Amino acid sequence: MLQRDYTTSQLDVLEAEAIHIMREVAAEFERPCLLFSGGKDSIVMLRIAEKAFWPAPIPFPLMHVDTGHNFDEVIEFRDRRVQELGARLIVASVQASIDAGRVVEDTGRRASRNRLQTTTLLDAIEDHEFDAVFGGARRDEEKARAKERVFSFRDDFGQWDPKNQRPELWNLYNARIRKGEHIRVFPLSNWTELDVWDYIRREGIEIPSIYFAHTRKVFERDGMLLPDADVVHRGDDEPLIEAVVRYRTVGDMTCTGAVQSTAATVEEIIEEIAATRITERGATRADDRASEAAMEDRKREGYF
């Protein structure tokens, strides 16, 4: 007699949960959008959105908060993927916020536009009247995000207040908001970095080449390898070296470090991640090497 296996894998469970969350948002909110930077988490989130609404097109626009200091490989991938899907992409520019006097750019060796994204993001949410914003944050990334709800309530200033977060019982989500308020939605909350890579392998998802080992000129700062680029201010005491590296996470190049690695395939990356004991953001993000309280302050400001 033919035996059938009805076992549901861990990835199947995570995917089903994320699809349910996306469909719930599409049903409950009037103007959602999905943050898409071309990074691996947003790429996985985009694939889940495709599956959630197939064969219909994705029923909401994509948005990227662009610092202007991004890696060329990632921007090229972002634009090509959006064109393939025929999706609508909104680019919220930090440079435009600087030019308009909304924010003031940092100066000095450690200058970064990463924190400036908060104002640009909140302005874009207000301008387009978005009431729900999908983000790719995961609870395993660091302690401040581990406290986050799947439906994260933000007040009319875009701020996160832990006392105003709603209970989430099983898969029941509270989508009620007043005008001016919005919800940040995190479909990948229960995923880990390893889950993301396992899903990329299973689905055969294309990702930017920067995630694989390649030779690049870098310099060391605070134990991190930062890229040689016009927007990254390198000191005379920070000599350039040529190394074989890859990126575990991508973002503003002024605060995103590479890791030394020879992993050139998805399978090799999975083996590497399974053996490491350092989180991706702890290893590669200069702006995240802060106290838990400092990270929660950033959440309260409205960026996360």
Task: For residue 270, give Cα distances in angstroms to 98, 253, 263, 265.
Answer: 39, 24, 9, 9
Q: Is residue 3 scored above 80 in pLDDT?
A: no
Domain spans of the chain?
A: 10-195+293-301, 208-286
The amino acid that residue 65 corresponds to is V
CATH superfamily, with its number, for domain 10-195+293-301: HUPs (3.40.50.620)
Report the share of the chain in percent with pLDDT over 90: 67
- Output 283 or 33, whichever has higher pLDDT: 33
> What 3-state class would DSSP assign to 153?
strand
Per-residue pLDDT for 219 more than 70? yes
Give residue 299's pLDDT.
54
pLDDT per residue over 119-168, tens digit each? Answer: 999 999 999 999 999 999 998 887 777 778 899 999 988 898 888 888 88
- Residue 295 scores a pLDDT above 80: no
Residue 127 CA from chain centroid, whole number: 22
pLDDT at 2: 65
Q: Token digits for 248?
A: 């575990």
Beta-carbon neighbour count of residue 84 at 10 Å? 9
Which amino acid is present at 123? D
In whole angstroms, give the CA distance from residue 8 to residue 17.
13
* Integer Cα distance of 124 and 129 in angstroms: 8
* Mean pLDDT score, 75-97: 95
d(CA 156, CA 126) in angstroms, rounded, equals 9
Which pTM does this prediction carry?
0.89
Would you say residue 293 has pLDDT above 90? Answer: no
